[in-house]
Amino acid sequence: MLVLCLLGIDALYLSGAIDWWWLLIPVVIYMHLLVFGAIYIQWNFYAKSYNKSVQSKQVALTFDDGPAQYTGVILDVLKKEGVHAAFFSIGKNAAANPEMVKRWHADGHLIGNHSYDHGFNFDWKSSKAMQEEINKTNEAIRQIAGVTPKLFRPPYGVTNPNLARAITRSGMHSIGWNVRSFDTTAKNKADLEARILNSLKGGDIVLLHDSQQITAEILTDLIRKAREKGFTFVRVDKLLDLRPYA
Catalytic residue among 183, 209, 210, 237: 209
Mean pLDDT of the region 147-154? 98
Range list of H helices, the chain: 2-14, 24-39, 71-81, 91-96, 98-106, 127-145, 161-170, 189-199, 213-228, 236-240
* Whole-number percent of the chain with pLDDT over 70: 89
Q: Are 222 and 186 in contact (CB under 8 A)?
A: no
Catalytic residue among 64, 204, 210, 237: 64
Please tell me the predicted confidence (pLDDT) of residue 136.
98
Same domain assignment for residues 27 and 87? no
Based on the structure, what is the number of domains in the chain? 2
Same domain assignment for residues 54 and 20? no
**Is 64 among the residues known to form the active site?**
yes
Closest CA to 222 of 106, 83, 88: 83
Same domain assignment for residues 24 and 95? no
Residue 52 forms beta bridges with which residues?
204
Same domain assignment for residues 35 and 54? no
pLDDT tens digits for range 29-85: 667 777 787 888 999 999 999 999 988 899 999 999 999 999 999 999 999 999 999
Residue 44 lies in a domain: no
At 43, the amino acid letter reads W
Same domain assignment for residues 74 and 6? no
Same domain assignment for residues 17 and 88? no
Same domain assignment for residues 23 and 65? no
Residue 246 lies in a domain: no
pLDDT tens digits for range 206-224: 999 999 999 999 999 999 9
Q: Report the SS3 class of residue 239.
A: helix
The answer to whether the Cα torsion of 27, 32, 37, 39 is positive or negative is: positive
Please tell me the predicted confidence (pLDDT) of residue 34.
77
Question: Global pTM?
Answer: 0.89
**Is 191 among the residues known to form the active site?**
no
| Domain hosting residue 11, numbered range | 2-39
